[in-house]
Amino acid sequence: METQCIFCKIINQEIPSAKVYEDDVVYAFLDITQVTPGHTLVIPKKHVADIFDYTPELAGEVMSRLPHIAHALKQTFPEMKGLNIINNNGEAAYQTVFHSHWHLIPRYSSEDGFSMQFENNQDSYTPEEFTQRAKQIGDSI
């Protein structure tokens, strides 16, 4: 645990939270911002800053809890039409708390106040560059 980490303090009950779920691996609680009703954060109890700090074992354990919590959200909010699961890693990706966390954001309509935008940059590279990019990533695995 990091002594100054707000999420570690929440796990240790030094800071109050609206707990949704807890086991030996994860702690889930309502995000104070509530982008949509039920917006939940799922955090590993082990302090890891971002996805690059996960071991494969920890990643598997944390990810395996997400469907369980997602089903609970759907049962609680049957009017949900979908669910965004978002994980930001690093400042450039808008991470503001450097304890890895997964946002589960219930979606009630496409006009519920939450949006994501992806720009199509397909014209900024050639098919050869695209294929080479995929090969470089694959070779690094």
**The pLDDT of residue 3 is above 80:** no
Given the candidates 3.30.428.10, 2.10.109.10, 1.10.3720.10, 3.40.50.2300, the CATH classification of the domain at 2-115 is 3.30.428.10
What's the confidence (pLDDT) of residue 119?
85
The string of pLDDT tens digits covering residues 92-137 is 999 999 999 999 999 999 998 888 888 888 778 889 998 999 999 9
What's the confidence (pLDDT) of residue 25?
98
Tell which residue, 58, 72, 79, 74, has the closest CA to residue 29: 72
What's the confidence (pLDDT) of residue 115?
87
What's the confidence (pLDDT) of residue 36?
96
68 is catalytic: no
Q: What is the pTM (predicted TM-score) of this model? A: 0.91
Q: From residue 115, how far is each of 7, 11, 70 by CA, in Å? A: 25, 29, 19
The string of pLDDT tens digits covering residues 47-69 is 999 999 999 999 999 999 999 99
For 131, the token pair is: 């294929």
Q: What is the per-residue DSSP string for 71-109?
A: HHHHHH-TT--EEEEE---SGGGT--SSS--EEEEEES-
What's the confidence (pLDDT) of residue 51?
97
Q: What is the mean pLDDT of the chain?
A: 95
Active-site choice (39, 99, 101, 103): 101
